[in-house]
Amino acid sequence: MKRYCLVLACCVAAIAAVSCKKKAESGEPPIVLVSAIIENESMPAHGLVSGYDADDPLKNIFLVGSPELCESLRARLMEVDDFDNIDGSRRSDGLPDFAGEVVSTIVDFANTPYSSFEGREDALREVTVRNVLAAMDTLCFINEYDKSGVASKPLPKVVVMVSPYATAWGKYDVDTLMTALGCNLPVVFPVESMLDKVFAAKKGSLAVGFITGEESLSPEGYAALLASKAAKEGREGCESIVFPSEIMATDPLLAFLDSCLVEGKVRPLDAIIVDDPNADAYALRLTLGRITNPDNPESLSYGKLIAPGCVLQEITEAVSDECYALLRAGNLFTHNIAFPRSLEFKTVAAPDSTFVLTPYDNGDPLR
């Protein structure tokens, strides 16, 4: 059996025999799978992570998660032109920011929708870790019906775990694994990235609004992520307000603020996080500027709901900005003169309750 399958098979066998001895900094243990990989040097996954070298410009940007989020973010990375490719300043230069790059997606059909893991959060944590391991491995099956045919797949120089479920259930375990084994592969969790920027830009106790999409967390899930970030920053009194997509109107920001008025939630928002790739970030910023302009009549109704200097973060922009910053800081751009390309893979459920990778849509992963 090739190495990709061996990694999964040995993980399954080892987790039953290894206890959770290593603890994360918070004092809570990671999942059993992570402890097994850390402690057992004979496991293929241990060598895969501990020996991984992400400092290679020829490697790919990998997006991992649900079909909608993978496709939305892939489309963004293929087209975005927010930066000058020479000096890195934030200005369009007529050249895609990720020119010459390959954006690979792992569409997780085997496990999505992640909301189905309610009440089985440890299983979702394991799925998150296994998805990262799958991105880091070299092999995949030719197709889901030929379990003996394998091909080489590219490797990542950055991995984006696109789902907020991965941030809520799995980031802790991925961070523990990477830190314990000294792996230099950046793994990006978009909601965390957006919260980081909000807390860096704003001081004190924060009121954060979340505009969410079809694959978003529950209000309690976002509240927990905000509370965790606030605790790490030593901030008290932070509050989240969530506006779900099923009641979204033509202008989601105005609809959000209308719902706040109806429900009597009038604490001014210090930040707005848009965890919906279908939202129009440009239109949202136009609306925000309009309702905070004292010369505009709308400011009389909505201005009091927006704190001075309100920060707006949107998932597709946040991911492209984070990937651009990581590649530029690490000198990891290919510098090839070419349009961005993409490769796609999908997860297929395996009999042992794990999954394997096969090419998806783009065909042969070697091309």
Supply the pTM of this predicted model.
0.89
Residue 214: its pLDDT value, please?
Answer: 81
Residue 295 sits at φ, ψ, to 5 deg, of: -80, -5
**How many angstroms separate the CA atoms of 206 and 299, rounded?**
21
Residue 39: its pLDDT value, please?
Answer: 97
Residues 6+ apart with CB under 8 A from 329: none
Count of H helices and E strands in the chain? 13, 12
Measured from the Cβ of residue 224, the count of other Cβ atoms closer than 10 Å reads 14
CATH topology of domain 3-189+317-359: Rossmann fold (3.40.50)
> Cis peptide leading into 351, omega within 30 of 0?
no
Domain locations along the chain: 3-189+317-359, 192-315
Tell me whether the CATH fold assigned to 3-189+317-359 matches the one assigned to 192-315. Answer: yes
Residues 6+ apart with CB under 8 A from 289: none
Regions of the chain short of the pLDDT cut 70? 1-27, 147-149, 245-249, 362-367
**How many angstroms separate the CA atoms of 9 and 21, rounded?**
22
Which contiguous run of DSSP H or E holds residue 73?
A: helix 67-79
Measured from the Cβ of residue 79, the count of other Cβ atoms closer than 10 Å reads 13
Using DSSP's 3-state secondary structure scheme, residue 64 falls into strand
**Statement: 192-315 belongs to CATH 3.40.50:** yes
Identify whether the C-beta of residue 345 lies closer than 8 Å to the C-beta of residue 358: yes
Residue 94: its pLDDT value, please?
Answer: 94
